[in-house]
């Protein structure tokens, strides 16, 4: 079987697929999406007109506030020749109690794809179950796969490879950590997560990640010791300590996460050429020091830009 035949098969296999988390995607499919993102990014940077989604419309549901997600998907659809339709929780009947299956079936007759950024992961799965067009998860409380794809593209760009690199995530075992431990083994990445006691990753996702790490021969470390996680790491990653919907816990979390700040002292345990990433928005002086996030190892704005390119790849692969 030739390489072109493999690529053609991957293209055909992704058409019409949902992108909800990494469970249903093989390593080859994920690598294909990263390669496609690289190609689409090159087309844009070179000024090439590329409109594979001409005449297509993406319906975008938001019940969580957003900067990067809304702008990157909306701009991405425009650059691909299509149209994006923004729908907040106040703009649709789903916000007034319309059943998700009804909304899914109606929207499927109007648009060519659905993107959703919301709280419940199960709501996204239900939407995908009843929709007849691709559904893309732009963030839930359980997973943030589009962000991790952007992170992985950024890591590859700066390190020139992925397999064998070590990623250290320090902080809350939230949707970012869940998606990282689920994706890392499929890219050949070693993964370490350091969280305060009681703030670990989702138990079911951890069990899946352990099996994947064993299957693909990668390391998975889950610890309460940030130094152990960061030791000789190629990438240090963190996120806010209190995500959207957890604002009431802010003061308590600041106290419990105090030893988990990514700062210059902690970063000294990583490799000398480590990268720093954060999905943004960031709280300087809280989960990360200004010296790290604004320092020479930080690639947060390359990372933010790559949301645009990987999401365009996902849209092209599933909708074109």
Catalytic one of 31, 79, 147, 182: 147
**Residue 61: CB partners within 8 Å, gap ≥ 6?**
87, 92, 94, 114, 115, 116, 117, 118
Q: Which residues pair with 135 in a beta bridge?
A: 114
Count of CB atoms situated within 10 Å of the CB of 288: 27
DSSP H or E stretch at residue 275: strand 275-278
Annotated binding site: 66-69, 93, 117, 144-147, 175, 239, 243-244, 279-280, 307
The strand pair at 190-194 and 113-117 is best described as: unpaired
- Please name which of 89, 148, 90 lies closest in space to residue 119, comparing C-alpha atoms: 89
Active site residue 91: no
Active site residue 307: yes
Annotated binding site for carbamoyl phosphate: 66-69, 93, 117, 144-147, 279-280, 307
Contact 280, 299 (CB under 8 A): no
Contact 166, 235 (CB under 8 A): yes
Catalytic one of 70, 79, 279, 311: 279
Catalytic one of 234, 307, 309, 311: 307
Active site residue 147: yes
Catalytic one of 70, 121, 143, 144: 144
DSSP assignment of 74-111, as one string? HHHHHHTT-EEEEEETTTSGGGGT--HHHHHHHHHTT-
Catalytic one of 70, 117, 121, 309: 117
Annotated binding site for L-ornithine: 175, 239, 243-244
**Catalytic residue set:** 117, 144, 147, 239, 279, 307
């Amino acid at each position: 079987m030739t390489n072109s035949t493999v690529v053609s098969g991957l293209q055909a296999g992704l058409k019409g697929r949902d992108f909800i988390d990494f469970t249903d995607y093989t390593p080859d499919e994920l690598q294909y999406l990263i390669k496609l993102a690289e190609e689409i990014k090159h087309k844009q940077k070179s000024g090439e007109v590329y409109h594979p989604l001409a005449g297509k419309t993406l319906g975008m549901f938001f019940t969580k506030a957003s900067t990067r997600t809304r702008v990157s998907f909306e701009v991405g659809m425009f650059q691909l020749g299509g149209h994006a339709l923004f729908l907040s929780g106040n703009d649709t009947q789903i916000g007034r109690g319309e059943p998700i299956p009804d909304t899914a079936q109606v929207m499927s007759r109007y648009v060519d794809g659905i993107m959703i950024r919301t709280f419940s992961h199960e709501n996204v799965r239900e939407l995908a179950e009843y929709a007849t067009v691709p559904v893309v998860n732009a963030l839930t409380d359980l997973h943030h796969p589009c962000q991790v794809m952007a992170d992985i593209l950024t890591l590859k760009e700066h390190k020139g490879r992925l397999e064998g690199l070590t990623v250290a995530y320090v902080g809350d075992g939230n949707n970012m950590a869940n998606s990282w431990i689920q994706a890392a083994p499929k890219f050949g990445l070693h993964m370490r997560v350091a969280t305060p006691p009681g703030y670990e990753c989702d138990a079911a996702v951890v069990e899946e990640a352990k099996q994947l790490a064993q299957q693909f021969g990668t390391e998975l470390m889950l610890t309460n010791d940030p130094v152990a996680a960061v030791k000789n790491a190629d990438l240090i990653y963190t996120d806010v300590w209190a995500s959207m919907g957890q604002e009431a816990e802010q003061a308590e979390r600041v106290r419990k996460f105090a030893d988990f700040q990514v700062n210059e002292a902690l970063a000294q345990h990583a490799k000398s050429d480590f990268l720093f990433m954060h999905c943004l928005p960031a709280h300087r002086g809280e989960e990360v020091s200004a010296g790290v996030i604004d320092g020479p190892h930080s690639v947060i704005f390359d990372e933010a830009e790559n949301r645009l390119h990987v999401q365009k790849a996902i849209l092209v692969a599933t909708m074109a």
